[in-house]
């Protein structure tokens, strides 16, 4: 049975982990996630992605039993592959929304950190408990958490291995929205659909500017922003948006959704 499932819902794709009971990452699930990420990166009809682990939980982390049986060289290769896979998810050109239910621990939280926006259930439990096993996060926890929360909060979470509940997660910015457990997927899908209606090239450029600019000097980030800003002016969506603003005012443009596809019809046109 497949451990990662892709389901298209119009322009939104749901990337679901399906490895019960805990969606624990092993080599098979890692490989299937990598294949799904590559498929999504090349999918011109997908405008946004929702990461989901199911109604019960998001993902409880790595398969500890499998890791405990590995030697140092095998661990290094396994970790390198998982880092690369998560990075492929983080680098998807379209917006990615994580729908987090139940538990997102260890590698599960590290995968959620690859998303651009995180919707969490009000009973969610998040954490990086690796230190309690005498190890450290290895798939982005020390790096993506630091960029999201800052060094002090990240060290606190990683050095204690403590659990974080929804209220605190929202307060410190670990998640972006908290909703009742039964509404997590629907809320994530609704937000993803809103983004999917936007200009695809501009959304991709925003993601690239923010993600890559944050790791550089301000001057380098501004140069990247300038290049991306200039580039989106050549897209059909930019032509649509600018013309719509001049003719109808702000917020009325109906975008075609593909930088190379000239769909310039406005709302109400045949």
- DSSP string of 147-177, one letter each residue: HHH-HHHHHHHHHH---EEHHHHHHHTS-SE
Q: What is the mean pLDDT of the chain?
A: 92
pLDDT of residue 258: 53
pLDDT of residue 263: 39
Q: Which residue has tokens 């799904």?
A: 36
Instruction: Determine which one of 130, 168, 177, 225 is catalytic.
Output: 130
| 130 part of the active site | yes
| 177 part of the active site | no
pLDDT over threshold 70, residue 235: yes
Across the range 243-256, mean pLDDT stands at 88
Task: Tell me if 258 sits within 8 A of 200, measured CB to CB.
Answer: yes
Instruction: Determine which one of 7, 32, 55, 110 is catalytic.
Output: 110
DSSP-H helix ranges across 42-130: 64-68, 72-90, 107-112
Measured distance CA(31)–CA(117) in Å, rounded: 24
pLDDT of residue 61: 85
- Tens-place pLDDT, residues 14-23: 999 999 999 9
Q: Is the pTM of this model over 0.75?
A: yes
DSSP 8-state assignment for residue 254? -
Q: How confident is the model at residue 266 (pLDDT cuts 50, 70, 90)?
A: very low
């Amino acid at each position: 049975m497949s451990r990662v499932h892709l389901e298209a819902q119009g322009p939104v794709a749901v990337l679901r982990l399906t490895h019960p009971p805990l969606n624990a990452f092993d080599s098979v699930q890692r490989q299937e996630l990598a294949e799904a990420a590559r498929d999504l990166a090349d999918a011109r009809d997908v405008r946004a992605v929702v990461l989901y682990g199911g109604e019960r939980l998001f993902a409880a982390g790595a398969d500890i039993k499998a890791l405990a049986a590995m030697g140092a060289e095998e661990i290094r290769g396994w970790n390198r592959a998982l880092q690369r896979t998560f990075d492929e998810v983080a680098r998807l050109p379209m917006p990615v929304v994580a729908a987090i239910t139940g538990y997102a621990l260890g590698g599960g939280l590290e995968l959620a950190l690859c998303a651009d926006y995180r919707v969490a259930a009000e009973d969610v439990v998040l954490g990086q408990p690796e230190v309690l096993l005498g190890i450290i996060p290895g798939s982005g926890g020390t790096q993506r958490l630091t960029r999201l929360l800052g060094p002090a909060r990240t060290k606190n979470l990683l050095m204690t291995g403590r659990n974080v509940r929804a209220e605190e997660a929202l307060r410190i910015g670990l998640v972006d929205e908290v909703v009742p457990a039964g509404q997590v997927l629907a809320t994530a899908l609704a937000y993803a659909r809103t983004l999917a209606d936007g200009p695809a090239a501009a959304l991709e450029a925003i993601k690239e500017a923010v993600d890559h600019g944050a790791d550089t000097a301000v001057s380098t980030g501004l140069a990247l922003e300038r290049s991306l800003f200039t580039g989106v002016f050549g897209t059909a969506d930019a032509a649509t948006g600018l013309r719509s603003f001049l003719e109808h005012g702000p917020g009325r443009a109906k975008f075609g959704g593909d930088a190379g596809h000239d769909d310039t019809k406005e709302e109400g046109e045949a």
